[in-house]
A and B are shown apart, each in its own frame.
Chain A
């Protein structure tokens, strides 16, 4: 499946759930928040929300700030 992840094209070979995508990228789901096509995805649904080809995904985390 092909998505745009954080502005970059990404080829995903796995199940179409967000959890599977994070696993394949080596990202710890506990450390990030996910936005798919401008909608914030609730943490409990990371393994159930199905992604579709062409989805725009944002993976957000914390950074230093005042």
Chain B
């Protein structure tokens, strides 16, 4: 039995998604992504500058085997703006994948649940596979699933805060109740945390800062790849035995039936 991750109309072997922002230069970014074995990378949109050809991201990224490029709607503050950015992104990427992110405050970058919900409705109508970045709210997660999102991306902690899986309590509820992939995004700072997220039951994780800001992003890419695989295997291996109460391997109370 293979353990591929299905999102929208594609199957992915890797459960590690990556962002492409905040790197010190693009060749380090590409090497880091290759080392991570990720098959889904998010990108932002901006105006092309012919004087800076080295800034071409699309060419080198799309050459990575098996890679799906997913535009994000960063910059949009409303559902309508997000639709516009998504349509532009689709024109470029040729795929229907979009990471819906609407964060009105430029400091903590927390997602706007209301604009995100409205935006998801608009995008789904246009045929997009919507992966919404959202607060770790179990009710919002179900609402987004119900209107047809391809996955949900609850945050582990605020972007760039490096506070790890601080929303793990909420994540457990979301995972328990979700019928679509749950992909933890934001806040993961170490491979151990990515592993923990997978053991918790997440279907995938997205990391950006943890790679981009590492001293050696390429080595960190390799580490994250291994951590995500390990966490997933542990989850699958443990699934048969997880329980809220202890189960002894031999019955403890067998002596009770023997009274004569």
A-to-B contact residues, CB < 8 Å: 6-7, 25-28, 31-35, 40-43, 58-66
Contacts and interface: CB of A to CB of B under 8 A. Distances in A.
A33 B71 CA distance: 12
Given A62-B43, A63-B43, A25 B74 contact: no
Contacts, number: 98
Contacts of B14: none
22 contacts: A6-B49, A27-B50, A31-B48, A31-B58, A31-B92, A33-B92, A40-B91, A43-B91, A43-B94, A60-B47, A61-B57, A62-B44, A62-B58, A62-B69, A63-B57, A64-B19, A64-B22, A64-B43, A66-B19, A66-B21, A66-B185, A66-B209
B61 A62 contact: yes
Contact of B42 (A6, A26, A35, A65): A65
Nearest to B91: A33
B122 to A, nearest CB: 15
B185 to A, nearest CB: 8
Given A33-B92, A35-B88, A64-B21, A25 B50 contact: yes
Please provide the 5 A-B residue pairs with the shortest distance between their CB atoms, ordered closest to farther.
A65-B44, A66-B19, A33-B91, A62-B43, A66-B208
B45 interface: yes
A62 B29 contact: no
B121 to A, nearest CB: 20
B23 interface: yes
A14 B172 CA distance: 60
A61 B45 contact: yes
B37 to A, nearest CB: 19
Contact of B87 (A26, A40, A43): A40
Contacts of A40: 87-88, 91
B72 A65 contact: yes
Contact of A66 (B74, B91, B92): B74
Chain A contact surface mostly: mixed
Contacts of B22: 64, 66
A59 B88 contact: no
Contacts of A7: 47
Contact of A60 (B21, B42, B56, B92): B92
Nearest to A7: B47
A45 B48 CA distance: 19
B167 interface: no
B127 interface: no
Contacts of A25: 50
A53 to B, nearest CB: 21
B45 A60 contact: yes
Nearest to B84: A40
Given A40-B91, A64-B57, 7 more contacts: A59-B48, A62-B61, A62-B71, A62-B92, A64-B20, A64-B44, A65-B42
B21 A65 contact: yes
